[in-house]
Amino acid sequence: MKQINVGMVGYKFMGKAHSAAYRAIPMFFPQVTKPVMKLICGRDEAGVKQAAEQFGWEGYVSDWRELLKRDDIDLIDINAPSNAHKEIALAAAKAGKHIFCEKPLALNLADSREMLEAAEAAGIKHMIGFNYRFTPAVLLAKKLLDEGRLGQIYHFRAWFLQDWIVDPMFPLVWRLDKEIAGSGSHGDLGAHLIDLAHFLIGGMEEVIGMSETFIKERPIAESMTGLSAKGSADAPKGPVNVDDATLFLSRFTNGALGSFEATRFAPGHRCTNSFEINGSKGSVKFDFERMNELQVYFTDDAADVQGFRRVLATDPAHAYADAWWPPGHTIGYEQTFIHELVGMMECFGTDSQPVPNFVDGVKCQEVLEAVERSIDQRRWVKISEM
C-alpha cells in the first residue's frame, strides 16, 4: 500500500515521539507504506493547535470522535493517558480503523482482553507501543538467543530505574493517579521489562512480588502532565494511590528464573532500562542509557581473553543499521519509535499483523495483574489463574 492516513490522539511526550517517527519514516524507510500526518487530537484546543503546527500535522481536532467519522483516516494512534485507551480503541475498531496504542494497553486485564477481542472481531491491524524491542542492541540479544548462541537460559534479570519523583514535593501528576494510569512504576516501567522478557525469554509460569509507595501524599498538581512538573509546598496535598516501586520474581515456562525491579526512586538513574541474561554458553547485558551497545560474553572464548566484550550494534550486520548512518555513528531514543512504526507500516497491504500487538499487550497485562494479586494475597500466583 502506498500510504496510510493517521489520526493521532495525544500530543504531549508520546505524541511528540510518534510525530517525529511519522515524519522520519518516508525519509529513512521509503520502501514501507507512507504515514500521512492528517489530524492530531487533544482536548486543549490551543495546545493541540500549537502541536499540530510544530510537529507538522495537516490539521487538528479537539474531540477524538471526529477522527472516527472521517473516511480519510485509516489508522488511529492512541497515546493519551491509559484511562482513555479502551473507549477510543473499542470505538476505533467498531469504525474499522487500524489502531496503534501506547502501553500499558489498558487499566486492567479485563479491559485489555475486551480491546483485543474488538480488534480481532473488526479484522483491523493492531499494535502496542513496546518500543524498546526495536533497539538494535536488544535485537542482537534476541538473535543470539534464537540462534542458541547463549545455550540454555538460566537467568533473566531486569531493572528499570528512574528518579523523577524522588522529591516529595513532586506533584500528583496523572501518572501517580490509579484511576488514570492503572498503576505506578509497575505498569509504566515494569510493563516494558515484562514485554522484553516475553520477547527474549518466553512465557512465564508464576510470579511473586512486593511493592511500596514511599511518599504517601503529594501536592495537588497545577497541571496534570510532565515528568519535570513542579509542586508547591503551600498547595493542598492528596494521597498517592499507585506504587512507587514494584519488584517481582518469576519462573519462566522454559525453566529460567526471572527477577524484575521497577522504581521511580533510584536517584541518579534517569532511564536505566537494563537486563542481563545468563545462559550455559554465555551472557548478555544491556543498558538503555548506552542503547547502542550490547555487552556479550561467550564461555568458549580463549581463556586469556575471556570477559565481556562491548559490541556496538551499528554495523550492517545489525538490525535497522543500513537505514541509518555508517558504522559507529550511533542512534537514539527516537529511533525506537521510528522502528516500531515501520513495523506497523510494513503490514499494510499484507495479511500479517504487526508485532507486538494487542495479544502481547494482554500477555503483559496478565503478568502485571498476577504480580498485583500476589502482592495482595502474599503468595505465588500462576499466570494460568489469570
Shortest Å, Cβ 227 to ligand SOE: 6
Q: Is 68 exposed, middle or buried (0-12, 13-18, 19+ CB in 10 A)?
A: middle
Cell readout for 1 is: 500500500
CA distance 156 to 208: 15
Nearer to ligand SOE (CB atom), residue 6 or residue 262: 262
CB atoms within 10 A of CB 239: 11
Closer CB to ligand SOE, 93 or 247, in the complex: 247
- Least distance in Å: CB of 364 to ligand SOE? 12
Write down the least CB distance from residue 264 to ligand SOE, Å: 7
Quick check: 295 and 222 in contact, CB under 8 A?
Answer: no
Min. distance of Cβ 298 from ligand SOE in angstroms?
30
CA quadruple 102, 108, 114, 116: dihedral positive or negative? positive
Q: Cβ of residue 155: shortest distance to ligand SOE, in angstroms?
A: 24
Nearer to ligand SOE, 197 or 296 (CB): 197
Binding site residues, ligand SOE, CB under 6 A = 162, 188-189, 227, 271
Shortest CB 253 distance to ligand SOE, Å: 26
Q: 141, 140, 195, 135: which is closest to 339 by C-alpha?
A: 135
Residue facing ligand SOE at closest CB distance: 188
Closest to ligand SOE by CB, 248 or 337: 337
299's enclosing H/E stretch is none
The residue among 189 and 221 lying less far from ligand SOE, judged by its C-beta, is: 189
Minimum distance from CB of 173 to ligand SOE (Å)? Answer: 10
Q: What is the DSSP string of 200-217?
A: HT--EEEEEEEEE-S--E
Residue 62 — φ and ψ, nearest 5°? -110, 5
Q: Which is nearer to ligand SOE, 118 or 368 (CB)?
A: 368
Amino acid identity of 107? L
Distance CA 325, CA 279 (A): 32
Buried/exposed code over 78-94 (b: 16+ C-beta within 10 A; e: otherwise): bbbbbbbbbebbbbbbe
CB of 131 to ligand SOE, least distance (A): 7
Specify whether the CB–CB gap between 7 and 67 falls below 8 A.
Answer: yes
Q: Which residue lies nearer to ligand SOE by CB, 227 or 319? A: 227
**Comparison of 210 and 227: residue with beta carbon closer to ligand SOE:** 227
**Which of residues 33 and 336 has its CB atom nearest to ligand SOE in the complex?**
336
* Dihedral angle, C-alpha 263, 12, 233, 238, nearest 10 °: -70
Q: How far is the CB of 245 from ligand SOE (least distance, A)?
A: 13
Q: Where are the beta strands (DSSP E) in 113-233?
A: 126-128, 153-161, 204-212, 217-219
Shortest Å, Cβ 162 to ligand SOE: 6
Are the beta carbons of 145 and 153 closer than 8 angstroms?
Answer: yes
- Strand segments, DSSP code E, in 117-228 are 126-128, 153-161, 204-212, 217-219
Q: How far apart are CA 222 and CA 172, in angstroms?
A: 9
DSSP 77: E
Q: Which is nearer to ligand SOE, 210 or 271 (CB)?
A: 271
